[in-house]
């Protein structure tokens, strides 16, 4: 498809956004203009607050207030930050609903889907979000069909998981509105080839990253991650992976320096951390959702692992952390996971 009219984008920047994500969204547009010799795209940065909005890495982007727009853009993309789950600005939600009524395409990157969801603009749509937020968003908005794709187009919605997936989403936009040849040329300029399709999974490299971990141990951990609310007993777990309990315990001690029970507890506490910081669920509901039958034991375990009580973590986050750390499921065999296990304070068995 060839369309040489100028398309306009408005990027709504949330505090503590990812510099990588915004660059991945904007640079393909700039380079498309450069390669074509035409003004195929124009864009501007907006925010609720106006002025310079800080990123999570310390850089900032100069923005204009929402009301400064003279003409409606063709597309609005919410560039989410650490605290997007709690970024509740009525004026932004009202403005987004107005844009939707006017037929503007709405999109999000990384955690920006939280804002579209809160505005009720993803209901009945398929969408994607960064993998570490998926379960929390599903808990809060079960009417949204979330995928684990890099990016997703659904009628007048376009969402991506953040990071380099923004490149892929925008390259697809260039291909759809101009030509595959131009999209490939832009990708070559960015050293980002071949083009990745929308159905590519976010965590395709997980197996490679986990290669040092025996497959049977990976399987055991995956089963743990799939049984958070209703934890299974270790003997049942060993039966499902086909090894003895003694051998499984040896593997956990060898690779994580802890018992299977202790590791399982950490997996559940990590999910609790995600739900605390990214949903409005009560602490008691989170305790139950993460398989703890005693709220006092849950609080004690959480404090031992993270050094802060659950309620305080919710109140203080994200300002209490210099940067997010091991954000939850799907990375249990990562370097950060091992560090958590090694550094955790002792807690009595569940």
Position 344 pLDDT exceeds 80:
no
Helix (H, G, I), strand (E, B) or coil at 303: helix
Over its C-alpha atoms, the chain yields an Rg (Å, rounded) of 22
Domain boundaries, given as residue ranges, for the chain: 7-189, 206-343
Which CATH fold topology does 7-189 show? Rossmann fold (3.40.50)
Q: How far is CA 321 from the centre of its chain?
A: 17
What per-residue confidence (pLDDT) applies to 93?
A: 97
pLDDT, tens digit, for every residue of 236-263?
999 999 999 999 999 999 988 889 999 9
% of the chain beyond a pLDDT of 70: 87
What per-residue confidence (pLDDT) applies to 206?
A: 45
- Between CA 9 and CA 25 the distance in angstroms is 10
What per-residue confidence (pLDDT) applies to 46?
A: 98
Q: What is the mean pLDDT of residues 55-83?
A: 91
- In the structure encoding, which two tokens stand for residue 98, read together? 């107005």
Helix (H, G, I), strand (E, B) or coil at 124: coil
The residue to which tokens 């609790």 are assigned: 272
pLDDT, tens digit, for every residue of 209-236?
445 788 899 899 989 988 999 999 999 9
- Between CA 164 and CA 196 the distance in angstroms is 10
Q: Which helix (H) or strand (E) holds 117?
A: helix 113-118
Same fold: 7-189 with 206-343 = no
Strands 145-147 and 126-128, bridge-based pairing: parallel
pTM of the model: 0.75
Q: What angle do CA 266, 163, 323 make, to 5 degrees?
A: 45
pLDDT, tens digit, for every residue of 7-16?
999 999 999 8
From 53, 184, 165, select the one nearest 107 (Cα to Cα): 165
- Between CA 66 and CA 99 the distance in angstroms is 11
Position 339 pLDDT exceeds 90:
no
From 105, 165, 111, select the one nearest 134 (Cα to Cα): 111
Class of domain 206-343: mainly alpha
Q: What is the mean pLDDT of residues 77-100?
A: 92
Instruction: Tell me the pLDDT band of 320, cut-offs 50, 70 and 90.
Output: low
């Amino acid at each position: 498809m060839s369309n040489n009219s100028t398309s306009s984008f408005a990027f709504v920047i949330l505090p503590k956004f990812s510099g990588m994500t915004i660059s991945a969204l904007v640079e393909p547009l700039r380079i498309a203009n450069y390669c074509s010799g035409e003004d195929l795209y124009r864009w501007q940065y907006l925010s609720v607050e106006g002025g310079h909005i800080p990123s999570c890495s310390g850089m900032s982007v100069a923005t204009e207030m929402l009301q400064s727009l003279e003409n409606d853009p063709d597309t609005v993309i919410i560039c989410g930050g650490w605290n997007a789950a709690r970024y509740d600005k009525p004026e932004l939600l009202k403005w987004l609903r107005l844009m939707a009524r006017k037929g503007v395409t709405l999109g999000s990157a990384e955690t920006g889907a939280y804002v579209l969801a809160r505005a009720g603009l993803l209901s009945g749509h398929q969408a994607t979000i960064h993998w570490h937020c998926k379960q929390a968003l599903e808990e809060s908005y079960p009417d949204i069909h979330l995928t684990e794709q890099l990016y997703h187009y659904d009628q007048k919605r376009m969402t991506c998981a953040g990071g380099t997936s923004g490149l892929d989403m925008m390259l697809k936009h260039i291909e759809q509105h101009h030509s595959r040849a131009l999209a490939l040329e832009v990708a070559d300029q960015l050293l980002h080839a071949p083009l990745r399709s929308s159905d590519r999974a976010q965590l395709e490299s997980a197996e490679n990253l986990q290669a040092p971990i025996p497959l049977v141990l990976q399987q055991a951990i995956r089963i743990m991650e799939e049984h958070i609310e209703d934890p299974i007993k270790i003997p049942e777990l060993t039966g499902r992976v086909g090894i003895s309990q003694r051998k499984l315990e040896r593997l956990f001690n060898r690779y994580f320096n802890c018992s299977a029970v202790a590791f399982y507890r950490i997996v559940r506490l990590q999910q609790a951390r995600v739900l605390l910081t990214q949903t409005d669920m009560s602490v008691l509901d989170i305790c139950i959702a993460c398989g703890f039958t005693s709220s006092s034991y849950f609080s004690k375990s959480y404090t031992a692992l993270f050094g802060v009580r659950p309620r305080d973590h919710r109140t203080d986050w994200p300002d209490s952390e210099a940067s997010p750390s091991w954000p939850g499921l799907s990375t249990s065999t990562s370097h950060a996971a091992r560090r958590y296990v090694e550094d955790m304070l002792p807690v009595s068995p569940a």
